[in-house]
Amino acid sequence: MALLLPEESESQDASPDTRKGRGQAVRVITFGTFDLFHIGHLNILKRAKALGDCLIVGVSSDELNWRKKGVRPVFPLAERLALVAGTRFVDEVFVEESLELKGLYIRRHQADTLVMGDDWAGKFDHFSPQCEVVYLPRTPVISSSDIRSQLREAS
């Protein structure tokens, strides 16, 4: 089942065939570049963690960003990994090498729930037989691309 959750609501699925229903730790996974780490990134990590007990984050490699989005992140991968891992909401980080490997990453990390911002709404619904898919509203106004443009204009 794919869900588009409003601000501050929680996923309620506690049926007996879910980890939550069995009283086990619920594993949540999310993905992103997290370049120029900002409040929108912190908010989604905080809200993703609130949907479970353990938050695992796939941080997109520099190569993936260049190949898929034509963008070179300002902060190198090692720093983006460290920033994400350094927040108190994140339990594990790994490198997302390919957008096409999401199914594998979800299985490998035994994720019960996939969380993405609603700029991705509908894009990952096909994973719903594998795990719950939740889209959270983006934090308004701020984005890494806007920060990049503002810095360019200011220089």
Binding ligand C2G by CB under 6 A: which of 52, 55, 57, 60?
60
The answer to the question of residue 49 lying near ligand C2G (CB under 6 A) is: no
Give the nearer residue to ligand C2G in terms of CB position, either 20 or 105: 105
CA nearest neighbour of 133 among 108, 91, 103 = 103
Binding ligand C2G by CB under 6 A: which of 11, 33, 61, 113?
33
Rounded Cα distance between 90 and 88, Å, is 6
Q: Given its phi and psi angles, is residue 6 left (phi above 0), alpha (psi -120 to 50 degrees) or beta?
A: beta
**String marking each residue 100-129 x if it binds ligand C2G according to CB under 6 A:** ----------------xx-x----------
Tell me the closest approach of the beta carbon of residue 31 to ligand C2G, in angstroms.
4
Q: Which stretch binds ligand C2G (CB under 6 A): 9-17, 25-33, 49-57, 106-114?
A: 25-33
Where along the sequence are the contacts to ligand C2G (CB under 6 A)?
31-35, 40-41, 44, 60, 96, 99, 116-117, 119, 138-139, 142-144
